[in-house]
């Protein structure tokens, strides 16, 4: 701001100095890095994992179907409250298979699958979820197939004979 002198009419060379503010941006940079870290971590934790499930190709009339013995088959029935029942052999053979229940949840199922694979590595495991089974039970059973390195397993629907077998054992 300049003012003129009343007697001489000259302006004085008096200057006013303004302070220039330089804010410290260090905390803002730290906050930026924290936000970037937060979003990177949340993106990493929110990635969903998928279980690979290979479905067999449709059989053609020309394909040769190899019959396996019924002793090479173990059927898992996923029941209510996370229970897993199983029987060995075929359902429609001459004698009724003995239905057994896996105890200790996933650990018991893993023990059973390792025992089956050790006895016969070519065993086919058929997984049949019942109407009372939850989706989580099926995912757990498929996880156990992967963990125990079962080479041959399949998902199948429950048949009337399976329901009759459960009913005979009061399940």
Q: Rounded to two decimals, what is the model's pTM?
A: 0.59
pLDDT single digits (tens) 4-61: 555 555 565 666 777 788 888 888 889 999 999 998 888 887 767 666 666 656 655 4
| CATH number for the domain running over 70-168 | 3.30.420.270
Least confident of 35-39, 73-77, 122-126, 165-169: 165-169
Residue 127 per-residue DSSP state: E
Query: How many angstroms separate the CA atoms of 99 and 87, rounded?
Result: 5
How many Å separate Cα 167 from the centre of its chain? 32
Which residues is 86 bridged to in the sheet? 76, 100
Pairing of strands 73-78, 84-88: antiparallel
Q: Are 84 and 141 in contact (CB under 8 A)?
A: yes
For 79-129, how does the pLDDT look when each residue is reduced to its tens digit (9 = 90+)?
Answer: 888 888 888 877 665 667 778 888 777 788 888 888 888 888 888 888 888
SS3 state at 62:
coil
CB 89 within 8 Å of CB 73: yes
């Amino acid at each position: 701001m300049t003012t003129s002198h009343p007697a001489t009419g000259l302006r004085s060379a008096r200057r006013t100095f303004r302070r220039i503010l330089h804010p410290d941006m260090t905390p803002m940079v730290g906050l930026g890095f924290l936000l970037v870290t937060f979003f990177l971590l949340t993106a990493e934790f929110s990635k969903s994992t998928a279980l690979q499930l290979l479905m067999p190709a449709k059989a053609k009339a020309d394909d040769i179907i190899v019959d396996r013995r019924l002793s090479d088959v173990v059927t898992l029935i996923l029941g209510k409250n996370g229970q897993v029942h199983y029987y060995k052999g075929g359902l429609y053979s001459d004698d009724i298979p003995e239905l057994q229940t896996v105890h200790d949840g996933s650990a018991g199922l893993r023990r059973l699958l390792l025992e089956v694979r050790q006895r016969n590595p070519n065993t086919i495991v058929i997984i049949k979820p019942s109407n009372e089974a939850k989706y989580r039970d099926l995912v757990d059973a498929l996880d156990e197939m992967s963990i125990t390195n079962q080479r041959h397993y399949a998902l199948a629907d429950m048949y009337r004979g399976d329901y009759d077998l459960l009913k005979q054992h009061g399940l």
